[in-house]
């Protein structure tokens, strides 16, 4: 009696489960399949439709929307092929990690050279000397770090040492989770090193600065919200392009931009991911895509979207927008990203030291 | 309706008022205010901007993916949840507490770690790398391809499957998102059913068996009606969480616009791109989706109550 | 094997249901989590200690566990009232209130964090008032974490209790009243013990969910090292720096701790069940 009962039960129930499972599995595959069927493998044979995936970081969306349209037009004229550029945006470090773990990016356009190097080192998807393959260390456009203060600059903030004064509240994201915040940290460090002399003095200065930081948001956008919408802090250390965006978004009369006496030349870097373009058969179009960033049209689009062009002609064109600044590079003052990262942001680096005694 | 309120009438009016007041105050402070602030932010720039935000192509693609993921995840977890609750509540075996705890575990795992665990299994440096996946699935791919070439039923469907099998993508594609979502919603249905079925005991099922019902009949006629509310709450919770999950999905998605962004990921990206109005509009859409599920629940509940009341009236009349 | 494992029962379907459960649990939970533990085991003992028990990580365990516990306890208390009110009473807007309970699941956690911060920061709807009336700073403090964790945990308690309240047999309460018990005595001595197992389940779910929460907390906590930095944030930080082993080491500690806590609660719950029977 018992066996028959359990058999019937198992039979009916089992059948149901199997049907259901099969249906779900099919649905999942079909969905994945549809995503896939426009892939280069299917396309290149006759239709000459090409797709590439550009894995980028957060604030570049508008830049690449405009640039992708321009590049498609250019590529169509040159080769007759239709190219569709798919975009992925996210925190720079997180995006690099996705590529390392198998996100099949044809090109990466990230915030720091260090993130691209990580892809070269951890996953060997591109050679270690990737930075030499394109002009200017593979950074077609640059940016820098500026101060965003409340309208009229009530606390009279002029330079980095004003940020350590008592009663000044500073907003900057956590350099452990935000690539942009690492530029901020290093710029402050270099200022102190020049003004007071020596690494110890610089560390003491930076420690004092971070005592004035009431909130360490995990990303640049979170910090912007804290400063702009929550009304916390007197000064926000920001990417130049983000400061412009904040002014545009929330009103020019609400915030002023202050340029410190010295700042860092932030160099977002771009690279073709060799192993992925080989697998996707997209090497030519991916390479052309990055090279076109250095063309007149590419430089113009960068300038329009608040990134500093590198071509002298367009530096001149956007002269009024971007103030001339005393800028240093990370290679000159910190011995490159790998070293700067190990000294300051790795576990037990200077940033950890200023919080844990 | 009257049928239900019968039991509540035993609480004295002052107690009812105090409890209702406390409950609503708590709900207002912790739930209603955030919801109101989402809608305020979403409608900040007017209704036109609001609707444009989620009728835009990328938002629609994200919505579609979110619904697809929920449609796969929830039924899978229903089957599992019923099986697990049946095994745990209808039988005594060693290590039961351990098994129950194992079912709870996905709640305790940080969603980010949940996502990461799938990356560690299926990623480029995982246990089952993409190359191995291609190799393993190659025979299946051949069958599907020959089926598609022969123009078998649903050619486009087979073609889609064949394309996927030839170049399988798990992580940073839909299957990975589904897996991560199943992980985080794994305990919901089971966890709703276990306390309920425990409280109900086994007597009714045993009685039905004695009366000669088959195992399947016992389940369908005795157990299922008893657990339907728990099952329902479980489905609603699993569904809401499946559509709203962020952390785990974020790790395995790859954030490709219009392809692997679910609605919650799309919200975050919009927010990070200074489009906070659009971000909150999409967030309010998610809240609305949850409310739609709840409306569906109310309709079903109302229907069942009617049936229940009719049945009760019937019995009453018989005895009179 | 299963037959030795379990005691005799005439009910059918053990092999099938137990089989499905174990198979599915292994595939979805055990194998992926094993990958996490194996990755962490690549560390030497001293490296493991350095990663998982440094001063800063210890401080984060403290704030994470305390706020999660406080949030879950708050939800257990108010959730019980809410579940009772929503199941037993009918009032205008009853269905709307019921619908609102699921909101924490439906809102992406980041949105929840941003909205809660907006409301509870010094220039927010509630934060301004709290600041002026009591000098309380909610956003960017431990209190903020507590608010976020209370928000995300509420549906667990309410939705676990609701079906059990729904299934309570009115005869029990009627019998108690007939025997001369006051309404309060009935609630306390008859109803509450029956709800206790589900309440414990709800509490443990809310608690364990709160331990792992990241998305909403990072916006409201301020993330100050040693003070309001939660453990999941430290895990993410380590992941960002490609330290998978160290990240998984911290995650493993959290996992073992919450597994033990959950196990204790599940044992408590079985004890409570046996007592009522």
Distance from the Cα of A35 to chain B's closest Cα (Å) equals: 7
Residues B257 and B283 occupy one common structural domain: yes
Residues B163 and B180 occupy one common structural domain: no
The residue of chain C with its CA nearest to that of B204 is C11
Q: What is the pLDDT of residue C276?
A: 64
CB contact under 8 A, C98 and B19: no
Backbone angles phi, psi at A324, to 5 degrees: -70, 130
Residues of chain A neighbouring B81 (CB-CB closer than 8 A): none
Say if C239 is an interface residue toward chain A (CB within 8 Å): yes
Residues of chain C neighbouring B228 (CB-CB closer than 8 A): none
Who among C218, C224, C238 is closest to A218 (CB)?
C218
Residues B67 and B209 occupy one common structural domain: yes
Say if C1 is an interface residue toward chain A (CB within 8 Å): no
Task: Using alpha carbons, select from C186, C257, C245 the residue that is nearest to residue C51.
Answer: C245
- pLDDT bucket at B314, cuts 50 / 70 / 90: low
The residue of chain C with its CA nearest to that of A93 is C240
Who among B87, B233, B246 is closest to C21 (CB)?
B87
Higher-pLDDT residue of C247 and B307 is: C247
Residues B192 and B215 occupy one common structural domain: yes
Distance from the Cα of A278 to chain C's closest Cα (Å) equals: 25
CB contact under 8 A, B23 and C78: yes
Cα–Cα distance, B268 to A295 (Å, whole number): 32
Query: Helices marked H in chain B — which ranges?
Result: 2-8, 13-27, 33-42, 47-55, 57-90, 96-108, 111-122, 130-149, 155-166, 174-185, 187-200, 203-210, 215-217, 224-244, 247-253, 263-272, 276-319
Cα–Cα distance, A112 to C126 (Å, whole number): 40
Quick count: other Cβ atoms within 10 Å of Cβ B205? 24
Higher-pLDDT residue of C254 and A260 is: A260
Residues B149 and B162 occupy one common structural domain: yes
The residue of chain B with its CA nearest to that of C93 is B24
Cα–Cα distance, C103 to C105 (Å, whole number): 5
Give the 3-state secondary structure of residue A51. Answer: strand
Residues of chain A neighbouring C224 (CB-CB closer than 8 A): 214-216
Query: How many residues belong to chain A?
Result: 357
CATH 3.40.190.10 given to domain A40-139+268-317: yes
CB contact under 8 A, C121 and A100: no
Q: What is the pLDDT of residue C107?
A: 79
- pLDDT bucket at A119, cuts 50 / 70 / 90: very high
Tell me which residues of chain A, numbers 202 to 231, contact chain B at a CB-CB cutoff of 8 Å.
219, 221, 224
Q: Which of A244-253, A268-277, B291-300, C259-268 has the lowest mean pLDDT?
A: B291-300
Residues B205 and B139 occupy one common structural domain: no
- pLDDT bucket at C179, cuts 50 / 70 / 90: confident
What pairs with residue A237 in β-bridges? A147
Cα–Cα distance, B37 to B25 (Å, whole number): 17
In a domain, B286, yes or no: yes
CB contact under 8 A, C240 and A97: yes
Task: Using alpha carbons, select from A198, A197, A202 the residue that is nearest to residue A187.
Answer: A202
Higher-pLDDT residue of B24 and A15 is: B24
Say if A181 is an interface residue toward chain C (CB within 8 Å): no
CB contact under 8 A, A89 and B255: yes
Give the 3-state secondary structure of residue B5. Answer: helix
| Numbered ranges of CATH 3.40.190.10 in chain A | 40-139+268-317, 143-266+326-355
What's the angle, vertex CA C32, arms to CA C29 and CA C36, rounded to 5? 120
Name the percent of chain C lying above pLDDT 70: 96
Q: Helices then strands (H, E): number in chain A?
A: 17, 11
Cα–Cα distance, A104 to A98 (Å, whole number): 9
Cα–Cα distance, B169 to A33 (Å, whole number): 9
- pLDDT bucket at B315, cuts 50 / 70 / 90: low
Q: Which of A68-77, B295-304, C14-23 has the lowest mean pLDDT?
A: B295-304
The answer, yes or no, to whether residue B212 has pLDDT greater than 80, is yes
Q: Per residue in A45-57, pLDDT tens?
A: 455 789 999 999 8
Residues B69 and B152 occupy one common structural domain: no
Say if C209 is an interface residue toward chain A (CB within 8 Å): no
CB contact under 8 A, C21 and B84: yes
In a domain, B34, yes or no: no
Sequence-ordered list of residues with C-beta below 8 angstroms from that of C179, at least 6 positions apart, any chain: none
Residue B145's domain comprises: 124-169
Cα–Cα distance, C206 to B108 (Å, whole number): 9
CB contact under 8 A, C215 and B237: no
The residue of chain B with its CA nearest to that of A223 is B272
- pLDDT bucket at A225, cuts 50 / 70 / 90: confident
In a domain, B2, yes or no: no
Cα–Cα distance, A280 to A217 (Å, whole number): 38
In a domain, B56, yes or no: yes
Residues of chain A neighbouring C241 (CB-CB closer than 8 A): 93, 176, 345-347
Which tokens go with A46?
């006759």
- pLDDT bucket at A44, cuts 50 / 70 / 90: very low
Name the percent of chain A lying above pLDDT 90: 61
Which chains does C contact via 3+ CB–CB distances below 8 A?
A, B
Residues of chain B neighbouring A5 (CB-CB closer than 8 A): 209, 214-215
The answer, yes or no, to whether residue B5 has pLDDT greater than 80, is no
In a domain, B22, yes or no: no
Domain boundary among B154, B169, B184: B169
Average pLDDT, chain B: 84
Higher-pLDDT residue of B110 and B185 is: B185
Sequence-ordered list of residues with C-beta below 8 angstroms from that of A13, at least 6 positions apart, any chain: B216, B219, C13, C16
Q: Which of A123-137, A327-341, B270-284 has the lowest mean pLDDT?
A: B270-284
Higher-pLDDT residue of A216 and C241 is: A216
| Angle at which helices A113-122 and A92-100 cross, to 10° | 20
- Which site among C240, C244, C245, C250 would you substitute to test the A interface, given the most A Cβ atoms closer than 10 Å to its Cβ? C240
Say if A169 is an interface residue toward chain C (CB within 8 Å): no
In a domain, B26, yes or no: no
Quick count: other Cβ atoms within 10 Å of Cβ B3? 12
Cα B239 to the center of its chain, rounded Å: 2
The DSSP secondary structure of A233-291, one letter per residue, reads -SEEEEEHHHHHHHHHHH-TTTEEEE--SSEEEE--EEEE-HHHHHHHT-HHHHHHHHH
What pairs with residue A54 in β-bridges? A87, A107
Residues B161 and B301 occupy one common structural domain: no
In a domain, B185, yes or no: yes
Which tokens go with B268?
């975050």
Residues B210 and B101 occupy one common structural domain: yes
Who among B72, B122, B272 is closest to A28 (CB)?
B72
- Which site among C2, C10, C11 would you substitute to test the B interface, given the most B Cβ atoms closer than 10 Å to its Cβ? C11
Cα–Cα distance, B82 to B95 (Å, whole number): 19
**B232 secondary structure, DSSP code:** H
Could you give the C-alpha distances from A190 to A168, A193, A216, A262, A340, in angstroms and in order? 20, 5, 21, 8, 12
Residues B203 and B180 occupy one common structural domain: yes
Residues of chain B neighbouring C107 (CB-CB closer than 8 A): 34-35, 38, 244, 283, 286-287
Who among A9, A88, A100 is closest to B215 (CB)?
A9
The CATH T-level fold of domain A143-266+326-355 is D-Maltodextrin-Binding Protein; domain 2 (3.40.190)
The residue of chain A with its CA nearest to that of C117 is A230
What's the burial of A214, exposed, middle or buried (CB within 10 Å: 0-12/13-18/19+)?
middle
- pLDDT bucket at A37, cuts 50 / 70 / 90: very low
- pLDDT bucket at A17, cuts 50 / 70 / 90: very low
Tell me which residues of chain C, numbers 42 to 71, contact chain B at a CB-CB cutoff of 8 Å.
none
Residues of chain C neighbouring A2 (CB-CB closer than 8 A): 10, 12
The DSSP secondary structure of B130-194, one letter per residue, reads HHHHHHHHHHHHHHHHHHHHTT-SSHHHHHHHHHHHHS---TTSHHHHHHHHHHHHTHHHHHHHH
What pairs with residue A86 in β-bridges? A53
Distance from the Cα of B247 to chain A's closest Cα (Å) equals: 12
Task: Using alpha carbons, select from C31, A313, A107 the residue that is nearest to residue B117.
Answer: C31
Q: What is the pLDDT of residue B311?
A: 66
Cα–Cα distance, C163 to B235 (Å, whole number): 13
H/E element, C128: helix C127-134
Q: What is the pLDDT of residue A130?
A: 95
Sequence-ordered list of residues with C-beta below 8 angstroms from that of B191, at least 6 positions apart, any chain: B81, B103, B104, B234, C160, C201, C205
Say if C123 is an interface residue toward chain B (CB within 8 Å): no
* Contact (Cβ atoms closer than 8 angstroms) between residue A92 and residue A218: no
Task: Give how many domains chain B has, as a whole number.
Answer: 2
Q: Domain with B179 in it: what CATH number?
A: 1.10.3720.10
Residues B199 and B97 occupy one common structural domain: yes
Q: What is the pLDDT of residue B166?
A: 81
- pLDDT bucket at B3, cuts 50 / 70 / 90: very low
Higher-pLDDT residue of B315 and C72 is: C72
Q: What is the pLDDT of residue A277?
A: 95
Cα–Cα distance, B253 to A94 (Å, whole number): 11
Domains of chain C: 40-276 (1.10.3720.10)
- pLDDT bucket at B313, cuts 50 / 70 / 90: low
The answer, yes or no, to whether residue C207 has pLDDT greater than 60, is yes
Cα–Cα distance, B312 to B206 (Å, whole number): 24
Say if A13 is an interface residue toward chain C (CB within 8 Å): yes
Tell me which residues of chain A, numbers 202 to 261, contact chain C at a CB-CB cutoff of 8 Å.
214-218, 222, 225, 229-232
Could you give the C-alpha distances from A295 to A291, A301, B267, C186, C205, in angstroms and in order? 7, 10, 34, 81, 57
Give the 3-state secondary structure of residue B94. Answer: coil
- Which site among B256, B258, B275 would you substitute to test the A interface, given the most A Cβ atoms closer than 10 Å to its Cβ? B256
Q: Which of A10-24, B165-179, C96-110 has the lowest mean pLDDT?
A: A10-24
Residues of chain C neighbouring B219 (CB-CB closer than 8 A): 13
Say if C13 is an interface residue toward chain A (CB within 8 Å): yes
- Which site among C9, C11, C12 would you substitute to test the A interface, given the most A Cβ atoms closer than 10 Å to its Cβ? C12
Q: Which of A11-25, A239-253, A299-313, B244-258 has the lowest mean pLDDT?
A: A11-25
Listed in order, strand segments (DSSP E) in A101-220 are 107-110, 141-150, 170-171
Residues of chain B neighbouring A123 (CB-CB closer than 8 A): 124-125
Question: What is the longest distance spanned by two Cα atoms in chain C?
Answer: 67
* Contact (Cβ atoms closer than 8 angstroms) between residue C117 and residue A230: yes
* Contact (Cβ atoms closer than 8 angstroms) between residue B88 and residue B100: yes
Cα–Cα distance, C23 to C28 (Å, whole number): 9
Cα–Cα distance, B29 to B25 (Å, whole number): 6
Q: Which of A11-25, B246-260, B279-293, C171-185 has the lowest mean pLDDT?
A: A11-25
Give the 3-state secondary structure of residue A53. Answer: strand
Which tokens go with B52?
């444009």
Q: Helices then strands (H, E): number in chain C?
A: 16, 0
Average pLDDT, chain C: 86
**C76 secondary structure, DSSP code:** H
Name the percent of chain A lying above pLDDT 70: 87
Q: Per residue in C222-268, pLDDT tens?
A: 888 888 999 988 888 888 777 888 888 998 898 888 888 888 878 88
Say if C109 is an interface residue toward chain B (CB within 8 Å): yes
Distance from the Cα of A24 to chain B's closest Cα (Å) equals: 6
- pLDDT bucket at C4, cuts 50 / 70 / 90: low
Residues B57 and B79 occupy one common structural domain: yes
Cα–Cα distance, C199 to C192 (Å, whole number): 9
In a domain, B37, yes or no: no
Say if C10 is an interface residue toward chain A (CB within 8 Å): yes
Say if C274 is an interface residue toward chain A (CB within 8 Å): no
Residues of chain A neighbouring B173 (CB-CB closer than 8 A): 32, 35
């Amino acid at each position: 009696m018992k066996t028959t009962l359990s058999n019937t039960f198992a039979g009916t129930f089992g059948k149901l489960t199997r049907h259901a499972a099969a249906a779900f599995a099919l649905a999942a595959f079909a969905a994945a399949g549809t995503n896939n069927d426009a892939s280069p493998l299917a396309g290149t044979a006759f239709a000459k439709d090409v797709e590439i995936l550009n894995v980028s970081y957060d604030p570049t969306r508008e830049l690449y929307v405009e640039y992708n349209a321009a590049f498609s037009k250019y590529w169509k004229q040159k080769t007759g092929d239709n190219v569709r550029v798919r975009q992925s945006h996210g925190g720079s470090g997180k995006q690099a990690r996705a590529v390392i773990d198998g996100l099949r990016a044809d090109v990466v356009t990230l915030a720091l050279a260090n993130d691209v190097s990580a892809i070269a080192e951890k996953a060997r998807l591109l050679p270690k000397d990737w930075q030499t393959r394109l002009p200017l260390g593979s950074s077609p456009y640059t940016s820098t770090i500026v101060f965003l203060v409340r309208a009229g600059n009530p606390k009279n903030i002029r330079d980095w040492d004003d940020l350590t004064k008592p009663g000044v509240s500073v907003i900057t994201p956590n350099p452990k989770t935000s690539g942009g915040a690492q530029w901020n940290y290093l710029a402050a460090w270099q200022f102190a090193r020049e003004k007071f002399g020596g690494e110890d003095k610089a560390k003491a200065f930076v420690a004092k600065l971070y005592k004035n930081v009431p909130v360490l948001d995990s990303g640049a956008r979170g910090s912007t919200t804290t400063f702009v919408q929550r009304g916390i802090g007197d000064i926000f250390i920001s990417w130049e392009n983000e400061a412009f965006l904040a002014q545009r978004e929330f009103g020019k009369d609400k915030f002023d931009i202050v340029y410190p006496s010295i700042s860092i030349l932030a160099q977002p870097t771009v690279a073709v991911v060799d192993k992925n373009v080989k697998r996707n058969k997209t090497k030519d179009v991916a390479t052309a895509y990055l090279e076109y960033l250095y063309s007149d049209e590419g430089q113009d689009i960068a300038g329009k979207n608040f990134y500093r062009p590198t071509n002298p002609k367009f530096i001149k064109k956007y002269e009024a927008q971007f103030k001339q600044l005393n800028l240093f590079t990370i290679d000159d003052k910190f011995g490159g990203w790998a070293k700067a990262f190990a000294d300051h942001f790795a576990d037990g680096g200077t940033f950890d030291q200023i919080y844990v005694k | 309706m009257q049928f239900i309120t019968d039991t509540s009438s035993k609480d004295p009016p002052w107690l009812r008022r105090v409890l209702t007041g406390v409950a609503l105050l708590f709900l207002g402070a912790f739930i209603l205010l955030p919801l109101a602030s989402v809608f305020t932010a979403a409608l900040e720039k007017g209704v036109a901007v609001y609707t444009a935000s989620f009728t835009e192509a990328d938002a629609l693609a994200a919505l579609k993916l979110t619904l697809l993921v929920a449609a796969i995840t929830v039924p899978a977890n229903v089957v599992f949840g019923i099986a697990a609750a049946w095994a745990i509540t209808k039988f005594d075996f060693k290590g039961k507490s351990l098994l129950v705890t194992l079912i709870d575990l996905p709640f305790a795992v940080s969603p980010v770690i949940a996502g990461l665990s799938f990356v560690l299994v299926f990623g480029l440096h995982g246990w089952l790398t993409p190359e191995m996946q291609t190799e393993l699935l190659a025979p299946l791919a051949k069958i599907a391809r020959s089926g598609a070439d022969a123009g078998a039923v649903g050619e486009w469907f087979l073609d889609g499957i064949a394309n996927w099998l030839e170049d399988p993508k798990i992580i940073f594609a839909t299957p990975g998102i589904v897996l991560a979502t199943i992980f985080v919603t794994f305990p919901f249905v089971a966890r709703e059913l276990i306390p309920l079925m425990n409280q109900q005991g086994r007597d009714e099922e045993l009685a039905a068996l004695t009366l000669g019902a088959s195992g399947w009949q016992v389940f369908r006629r005795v157990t299922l009606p008893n657990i339907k509310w728990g099952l329902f709450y479980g489905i609603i919770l699993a569904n809401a969480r499946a559509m709203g999950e962020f952390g785990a999905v974020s790790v395995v998605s790859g954030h490709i616009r219009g392809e692997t962004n679910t609605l919650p990921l799309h919200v975050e990206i919009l927010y990070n791109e200074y489009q906070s109005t659009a971000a909150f509009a999409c967030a309010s859409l998610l809240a609305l989706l949850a409310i739609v599920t709840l409306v569906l629940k109310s309709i079903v509940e109302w229907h069942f109550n009617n049936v229940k009341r009719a049945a009760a009236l019937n019995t009453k009349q018989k005895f009179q | 094997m299963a037959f030795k494992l379990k005691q005799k029962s005439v009910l059918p379907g053990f092999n099938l249901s137990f089989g499905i459960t174990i198979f599915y649990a292994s595939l979805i939970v055990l194998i992926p989590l094993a990958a996490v533990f194996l990755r962490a085991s690549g560390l030497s003992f001293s490296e493991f200690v350095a990663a998982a028990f440094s001063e800063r990580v210890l401080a984060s365990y403290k704030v994470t566990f305390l706020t999660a516990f406080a949030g879950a306890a708050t939800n257990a208390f108010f959730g019980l009232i809410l579940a009772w009110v929503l199941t037993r009473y009918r009032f205008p807007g009853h269905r709307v209130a019921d619908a609102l309970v699921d909101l924490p699941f439906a809102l992406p956690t980041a949105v929840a964090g941003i909205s809660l911060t907006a409301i509870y920061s010094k220039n927010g709807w509630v934060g301004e008032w709290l600041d002026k009336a009591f000098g309380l700073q909610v956003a960017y403090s431990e209190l903020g974490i507590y608010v976020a964790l209370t928000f995300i945990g509420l549906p667990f308690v309410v939705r676990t209790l609701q079906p059990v309240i729904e299934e309570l047999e009115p005869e029990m309460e009627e019998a108690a009243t007939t025997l001369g018990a006051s309404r309060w005595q009935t609630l306390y001595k008859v109803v509450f013990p029956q709800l206790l197992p589900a309440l414990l389940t709800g509490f443990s779910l809310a608690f364990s969910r709160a331990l792992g929460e990241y998305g909403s907390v990072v916006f409201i906590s301020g993330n100050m090292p040693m003070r309001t930095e939660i453990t999941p944030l430290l895990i993410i930080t380590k992941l960002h720096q490609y330290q998978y082993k160290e990240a998984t080491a911290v995650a493993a500690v959290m996992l073992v701790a919450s597994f033990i806590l959950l196990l204790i609660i599940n044992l408590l719950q079985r004890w409570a069940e046996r007592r009522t029977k």
